[in-house]
């Protein structure tokens, strides 16, 4: 009995729920699958499968066994791919984690272009605003917005700055007026981001201009950990928001939003935030990771200076 083949076949049988369907997937005769499963159970001295005329299912022992061998087979496949992936030409699966809004507006078009240039790469993109565990979720590379210092156990590469603009809609400004200096924001309705998942009500924004710094505590009725929610609130005239330039550029160009205090550099709670890539040290020699990093670093759209505003 080929033990490795038997284990792979068991996984297929468990997933397919029957010998015939598993055999079809594997491209072998149903009798071959049946004999291999009988031999595997005999070698272990335990029943792994419950056979009925309509379905084949795992026994309790089979469930526990499949869970363990599934991890082993995944690790074996990963080890095989790591050797294969050390070559010069990128090939194989590339699992990437990206934040939702930035992924939609900036990265999705770039990933499409990257795949066109690297037809042997299969990209699995995980969209999540939280910080994914790269090892547990088997992520090859993550694009993040924040401070690279928090990822001391990872290899990090800065991709771009992350300037923030103070914006509001014409409707809000007509109703409440435009602040002429940062301190006046204390009297305005401000739309705030909940950093680190914290929903605390107190938050301060920092403004710098001409070697002068002002730190203003802001208030408002809308707090969210999703920047799209804050953008929609600003567009609806609900208040003033401090949002990334890459998020509001289209609305500024179209006149749906106006930039305020544009002679100041504005930063929210997470003042050191940049856009960066992070990956585990064991992905350092991956040709897929290196290729994607080079592609992102060379992309002009990630390094826009926003001088038009």
Query: pLDDT tens for residues 173-187?
Result: 999 999 999 999 999
Q: Evaluate whether 203 touches 269 at the Cβ level (below 8 Å).
A: yes
The tokens for 110 are: 């770039």
| Measured CA angle at 134 (ends 133, 135), to 5 deg | 95
In the chain, which residues fall in CATH 1.10.10.10? Answer: 3-84
Intervals of CATH 3.40.190.290 along the chain: 164-267
Dihedral-angle region of residue 281 (phi above 0 means left; psi in -120 to 50 means alpha; beta otherwise): alpha
Q: What integer pLDDT is reported at residue 211 of this predicted model?
A: 82
One-character DSSP codes across 5-19: HHHHHHHHHHHHTSH
Retrieve residue 35's tokens.
């004999």
Give how far Cα 55 sits from Cα of 30, 103, 218, 245, Å.
14, 42, 62, 56
Give domain 164-267's CATH architecture.
3-Layer(aba) Sandwich (3.40)
> Using CA atoms, how far apart are residues 187 and 190, in angstroms rounded to an integer?
9
Q: Over the stretch 270-308, which tens digit does the pLDDT of each residue have? A: 567 899 999 998 887 888 999 999 999 998 878 766 554
CB of 18 closer than 8 Å to CB of 58: no
Helix ranges (H only) for 45-156 are: 60-84, 100-102, 108-117
pLDDT tens digits along 203-245: 899 999 888 888 999 999 999 989 999 999 999 999 999 999 9
CATH number among 3.40.190.10, 3.30.56.10, 1.10.10.10, 3.90.660.10, domain 92-162+273-303: 3.40.190.10
- Three-state secondary-structure class, residue 299: coil
Give me the residue label for tokens 């990630």: 302
At residue 3, the pLDDT reads 87
Contacts of 228 (CB under 8 A, 6+ apart): 100, 101
Read off the tokens for 32. 């071959």
CATH of domain 3-84: 1.10.10.10
For the entire predicted model, the pTM comes to: 0.70
Task: Note the pLDDT of residue 187.
Answer: 94
Condensed to tens digits (0 to 9), the pLDDT of residues 39-90 reads: 999 999 989 888 888 888 888 898 888 888 877 877 776 666 555 555 567 8
């Amino acid at each position: 009995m080929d033990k490795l083949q038997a284990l792979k076949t068991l996984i297929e049988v468990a997933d397919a729920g029957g010998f015939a369907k598993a055999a079809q997937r594997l491209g072998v005769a149903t009798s071959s699958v049946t004999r291999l499963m009988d031999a595997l159970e005999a070698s272990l001295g335990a029943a792994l499968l419950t056979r009925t005329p309509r379905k084949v299912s795992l026994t309790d022992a089979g469930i526990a066994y499949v869970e363990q061998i599934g991890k082993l087979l995944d690790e074996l496949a990963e080890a095989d791919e790591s050797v294969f992936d050390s070559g010069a030409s990128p090939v194989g699966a590339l699992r990437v984690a990206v934040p939702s809004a930035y992924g939609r507006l900036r990265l999705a078009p770039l990933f499409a272009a990257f795949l066109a240039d690297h037809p042997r790469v299969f990209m699995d993109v995980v969209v999540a605003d939280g910080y994914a565990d790269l090892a547990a979720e088997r992520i090859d590379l993550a694009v993040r917005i924040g401070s690279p210092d928090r990822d001391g156990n990872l290899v990090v590469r800065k991709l771009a700055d992350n300037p923030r603009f103070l914006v509001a809609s014409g409707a809000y400004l007509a109703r409440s007026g435009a602040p002429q200096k940062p301190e006046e924001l204390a009297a305005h309705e401000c739309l705030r981001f909940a950093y680190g998942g914290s929903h605390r009500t107190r938050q301060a924004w920092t403004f710098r201009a001409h070697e002068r710094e002002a730190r203003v505590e802001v208030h408002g009725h809308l707090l969210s950990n999703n920047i799209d929610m804050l953008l929609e609130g600003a567009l609806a005239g609900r208040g003033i928001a401090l949002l990334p330039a890459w998020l509001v550029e289209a609305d500024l160009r179209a006149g749906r939003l106006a930039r305020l205090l544009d002679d100041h550099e504005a930063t929210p709670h997470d003042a050191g935030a940049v856009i960066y890539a992070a990956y585990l040290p064991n992905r350092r020699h991956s040709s897929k990771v290196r290729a994607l990093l080079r592609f992102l670093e060379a992309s002009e759209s990630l390094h826009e200076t926003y001088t038009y505003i």
